[in-house]
Amino acid sequence: MTFPLRLRLLLIQLGVLLAVLATWYAATLPGGINHLLLPAPAPVFKDFGVLLTTGSIWPDLFVTVFEWIVAFAIAAVAGSVIGYLVSLTPYTVEVFDPLFAGLYSIPAILLFPLYLLFFGLGPASKIALGTTIAFFPIVLNTIAGLSCVDRAYITAARSMGANGLQLFWSVMLPAAFPVILTGARLGGVIAFLAILGGETISSLAGLGHRIVSLAENMDTEQMFANILFAVVLAVIINVTVSFAESRGKRWAH
Amino acid sequence: MVNSTEVVIRIEGVGQAFGEVGDPRRVVALESTSFEIARGELLCLIGPSGCGKSTLLNIIGGLATPTMGRVTIDGQPVRGPSPQKVAYVFQDNTLFPWRTVVDNVKLGMAFQGVPKAEHDDRAHESLKAVGLSEFAHHYPAQLSGGMRQRAQLARALGLRTEILLMDEPFAALDEQTRLLLGEDLSALLATTAKTIVFVTHSLVEAVFLADRVAVLTARPGKVKKIIDVDEGHPRKSTFMTSPKLSALRNELYELLHDEIRKTITLGEAEAST
Amino acid sequence: MGALNDRRPKRLKPGYARLLVIAGMLLVWEVGARFFADPLFASPPSAAFLALGGLFADPKIVHAIEITIFEMVAAFVMAVALGLSIGLAVGLQGFTKAAVMPIVLLLYTIPQATLLPLFVLSFGIGPEAKIAFGVSQSIFPVIITTVAGVANLRPALLTAARSMGASRLQIFSAIVFPHMIPSFFTGMRIAMTAVLLGVLLAELYVSTAGIGYYTRLFAQTFKPAELFALIAVLATIAVTLNELCRMAERHFSRWQYAGA
């Protein structure tokens, strides 16, 4: 893209952002939208600043991030191991792959009440939800990655005398890695969103729960500030995860 | 260079068929074929599409099992891949894209079982032999087609096998690169004592590179005739333009013409069923 | 080496093998829940199946399920209609596209669950909130895929049509519309998934009415069989709607508008 065009685009986007902020400000002027539904931008940003500087949000943040990491770890291990086992023969792939794909089409949030019943209101039910949701893209992509390795690589390695272990570690795994990594990224992102959802529905702690409490107390200014925080967090997670994915895929241009 | 008439590879009555006798879909890729390959010679296998030359190469290398007959190398029957004796250069690029060129060469050695301490020196020696020393730390995606094939050759050379099997290694390259690589290959082979079986479609390439050219018939393939190319290695570019090469090329063409014609009518017959 | 040379032992067709696996899993669950689990926390599938009858016998529960289906369909239709209009309006005009798309993408990054309490605050605990939330979840994929679908329309085609005197409507129906159908149906499929998720999320959140009331009731009174039966019903509805959209997408993508 040529420089002036790029600049123009950037200016338009900046202009749009400012327009949105201006509209927000205008809407909340006296006589506009009820402040209980839409607080004015200034106090929201002030609260947001306070959130960042004081440690009030850390306990809830910690709970959410903890739930996310544990859920992702379990899903990653389970997904990749099961995916590996399924990929061992074309027959098992044919049997199990559609099974997993079919289960994936069921909205996992429906399982959450069962998890609440079984695990209670604590982090375990959220972790269970996150694990369930993140499991599927990981297992499906592991199966796809490992079973679609170009036969030419395997033939070449065999011709050079590679044994089973060498074939797996030095050929199949690196070949499948980009696809598996994409599954991991997808799983990580939707696990985070699912956990926030679970915390919103029923929880004792965590970012989602925090926002719900503020809503119940009609403290919409704080709530907006916390939503903003959650957005920033989601963006950071998205960027980090995408970055990790592209680093891992360096060679597969 | 053929430094002896000692036979190293014996192909004895090798045949390859897919499907049971009586099955209308049965395909006979190779009919009982027998010939010998001497130590240190470069033998080209040439024939029309589908004549089974790649199949024959895979059987020699142990990547395929014949339904009839057998192959022996140094008197030992071939039962599977023999990485200590046979190295391959494939037509499709089989360099592992997630590793650099030098790491690819080293990985081949690791598969074969070369002790780790020797990897470095051997790898750099092989890369130097093919002229890729400067590109050792590049990834395959960063190389041109010709360079990738040279890297594959380096990987095969690094295995220090006595036999090299090359399955249309230059097929995906443009003609000019092919000619140059052909010359480089010939120069390389003048200094090493390898036995090479080289599958190709190109008549000129076959005559230019080979000590002998085995012409295969249309499917079911078998050896129609083996032509001698009495010319020392390294083959110079003067050989390329010599009347001797033209004469041999013409002889090959005459042998192949009917087979190619047969293959096309075979294909038409198959397509209409 | 060739399927004709395969001397594999005769095997169960994958479809049957799959059914066997599912049956096996149900069996393990049945045995596990019956003999090893506390009946307050887990129930075997047989009990859940039996509880289905009781569920459907209760008119209030049936009503709640019906309302949920209504919310899903309503939210979907609205999201598609709105998304399509906005997507077309934005996608066809270069300037509005550059201006509006950043807003769309910005809004899309907000984790939807965090806005749920706000929606309920604004719309109350009735179907309006759930429909609104469902729409908010699913309108963005429709806009984005519609814009993408129109994006690679060659301007030369539009110019040619205009030069032949085609009216705006004619241009739209003969060129623009067929061109973006495949991406539109993809967007619809994604939107359906999002609507299901959004409506269910909202329903489960509002535990004082609708389905959410019953999920909370069954959970709090330790009735895993009833809870599971209810979830199974909702899951079946969700999968059916999803599958319908998937089939529609496959059908309409078959006459892909190539090379336009």
* Cβ-Cβ contacts under 8 Å, A160 against chain B: 81, 83, 87-88, 108, 111-112, 155, 159
Determine the residue among C97, C114, C205 to mutate to test chain A binding: the one whose Cβ has the most chain A Cβ atoms within 10 Å.
C114
Q: Are residues C66 and C188 in the same domain?
A: yes
Residues 6+ apart with CB under 8 A from C250: none
At B212, the pLDDT band (50, 70, 90 cuts) reads very high
Supply the pLDDT for residue B1.
43
* Cβ-Cβ contacts under 8 Å, B18 against chain C: 1-2, 4-5
> Chains with ≥3 Cβ pairs under 8 A against B?
A, C
Q: Are residues C9 and C92 in the same domain?
A: no
List the 225-244 stretch of C: residues with Cβ below 8 A of A: 227-228, 231, 234-235, 238-239, 242-243
Question: Does residue C130 fall inside a structural domain?
Answer: yes
Question: Does residue C142 fall inside a structural domain?
Answer: yes
* Cβ-Cβ contacts under 8 Å, A39 against chain C: none
Supply the pLDDT for residue B268.
72
**Does C103 contact A20 at a Cβ distance shorter than 8 Å?**
yes
Sign of the alpha-carbon dihedral angle for A79, A82, A84, A86: negative
Q: What's the whole-number average pLDDT of chain B?
A: 88
Measure B196 CA to nearest chain C CA, in Å: 25
What is d(CA C25, CA B62) in angstroms, rounded to the nearest whole number?
Answer: 43
Supply the pLDDT for residue C8.
54
Number of domains in chain C: 2
- Is the Cβ of A111 closer than 8 Å to some Cβ of chain B? no
Indicate which CATH number applies to the domain containing C234: 1.10.3720.10
Question: Does residue C43 fall inside a structural domain?
Answer: no
Residue B25 scores a pLDDT above 90: no
Question: Does residue C253 fall inside a structural domain?
Answer: yes
Three-state secondary-structure class, residue B28:
strand
Residue C255 scores a pLDDT above 50: yes
Supply the pLDDT for residue A251.
58
User: What whole-number percentage of chain B has pLDDT above 90?
Assistant: 41
Residues of chain A with confidence (pLDDT) below 70: 1-3, 251-253
Question: Does residue C25 fall inside a structural domain?
Answer: yes
For residues B41-51, average pLDDT: 87
Q: Which candidate from B88, B96, B155 shows the least CB-CB separation from A171?
A: B96
- Is the Cβ of C47 closer than 8 Å to some Cβ of chain A? no
By the 8 A CB rule, do C233 and C165 touch? no
Q: Are residues C9 and C74 in the same domain?
A: no
Measure A162 CA to nearest chain B CA, in Å: 4
By the 8 A CB rule, do C234 and C65 touch? yes
Q: Are residues C68 and C110 in the same domain?
A: yes
Q: Are residues C14 and C63 in the same domain?
A: no
Domains, chain B:
4-85+166-272 (3.40.50.300), 94-160 (no CATH)
Question: Does residue C194 fall inside a structural domain?
Answer: yes
This prediction's pTM: 0.83
Q: Are residues C10 and C137 in the same domain?
A: no
Q: What's the whole-number average pLDDT of chain C?
A: 84
**Does C234 contact A110 at a Cβ distance shorter than 8 Å?**
yes
- Is the Cβ of B68 closer than 8 Å to some Cβ of chain C? no
Q: Are residues C89 and C29 in the same domain?
A: no
ipTM confidence score: 0.85
Residue C109 scores a pLDDT above 90: no
CB atoms within 10 A of CB C10: 4
Which residues are paired to B42 by β-bridges? B196
Supply the pLDDT for residue C2.
45
Q: Which candidate from A12, A106, A196 shows the least CB-CB separation from C113?
A: A196
Q: Are residues C135 and C9 in the same domain?
A: no
Supply the pLDDT for residue B273.
54
Question: Does residue C121 fall inside a structural domain?
Answer: yes
CB atoms within 10 A of CB B20: 10
Provide the residue range defining the domain that includes C22.
2-36
Residue C260 scores a pLDDT above 70: no
Supply the pLDDT for residue B4.
60
Q: Encode pLDDT of B54-78 as tens digits.
A: 889 999 999 888 888 999 998 889 9
Q: Are residues C97 and C128 in the same domain?
A: yes
Question: Does residue C137 fall inside a structural domain?
Answer: yes
Domains, chain A:
52-252 (1.10.3720.10)
> Chains with ≥3 Cβ pairs under 8 A against A?
B, C
Q: Which candidate from C11, C215, C238 shows the least CB-CB separation from A113?
A: C215
Q: How far is CA C30 from the centre of its chain?
A: 30
* Cβ-Cβ contacts under 8 Å, A91 against chain C: 11, 14, 17
Which residues are paired to B223 by β-bridges? B216
Phi and psi dihedrals of A175, rounded to 5?
-65, -35
- DSSP annotation string for A37-64: TS--HHHHHHHHHHHHHSSTTHHHHHHH
- DSSP tag of C8: P
Supply the pLDDT for residue A253.
42
Residue B138: closest C-alpha in chain A:
A251
Supply the pLDDT for residue C96.
73
Min mean pLDDT across A36-40, B83-87, B215-219, B248-252 is at A36-40
Q: Are residues C32 and C71 in the same domain?
A: no
* Cβ-Cβ contacts under 8 Å, C5 against chain B: 18-19
Q: Are residues C28 and C69 in the same domain?
A: no
Measure B162 CA to nearest chain A CA, in Å: 13
List the 145-174 stretch of B: residues with Cβ below 8 A of A: 155, 159
Q: Encode pLDDT of C2-55 as tens digits.
A: 444 455 556 778 888 889 999 999 999 888 888 888 888 888 888 888 888 888
* Cβ-Cβ contacts under 8 Å, A219 against chain C: none
Q: What's the whole-number average pLDDT of chain A?
A: 89
Q: Which residue has the higher pLDDT, C92 or B238?
A: B238
Residue C41: closest C-alpha in chain A:
A118
- Is the Cβ of B98 closer than 8 Å to some Cβ of chain C? no
What is d(CA B31, CA B110) in angstroms, rounded to the nearest whole number?
Answer: 37
Q: Are residues C66 and C109 in the same domain?
A: yes
User: What whole-number percentage of chain C has pLDDT above 90?
Assistant: 33
Size of interface B-C (CB pairs under 8 A): 15
**Does A109 contact C200 at a Cβ distance shorter than 8 Å?**
yes
